[in-house]
């Protein structure tokens, strides 16, 4: 389930659920989020990324949050979730990975 691998890091969607979340995004948000996910291959620690827990980060796009994990040793970025922001967005975030 590779989403992009053009940079020094390989970006992967970690489950089919993430693919469903990606495909269910509103049309206006989809291009921005895909572009950001692809950019993670070159720069996994983007300027607007916020560290959530350990090596888990999030990107904010309006109501949506892209949750991802960086593994510097294997040079991989795993997308664990693309969620609408709510009280539950960050609960049990480690379970996504």
Mean pLDDT, to the nearest integer, of 26-38? 92
What is the set of domains in the chain, with CATH numbers? 2-85 (3.30.2310.20)
Mean pLDDT, to the nearest integer, of 40-49? 88
pLDDT digits (tens, 9 = 90+) for 61-96: 889 999 999 998 999 999 999 988 887 777 777 777
Q: 64-71 and 2-4: which strand pairing?
A: unpaired
Contact criterion met (CB below 8 Å) for 71 and 78: yes
When computed from its CA atoms, the radius of gyration of the chain, rounded to whole angstroms, is 12
């Amino acid at each position: 389930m590779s989403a992009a691998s053009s940079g020094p890091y390989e970006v992967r969607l970690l489950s089919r659920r993430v693919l469903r979340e990606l495909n269910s995004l509103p049309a206006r948000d989809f291009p921005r989020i895909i572009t950001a996910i692809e950019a993670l291959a070159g720069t996994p620690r983007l300027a607007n990324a916020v560290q959530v827990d350990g090596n888990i980060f999030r990107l904010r796009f309006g109501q949506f949050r892209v949750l991802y994990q960086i593994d510097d040793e294997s040079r991989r970025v795993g997308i664990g979730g693309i969620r609408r922001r709510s009280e539950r967005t960050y609960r049990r975030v480690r379970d996504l990975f």
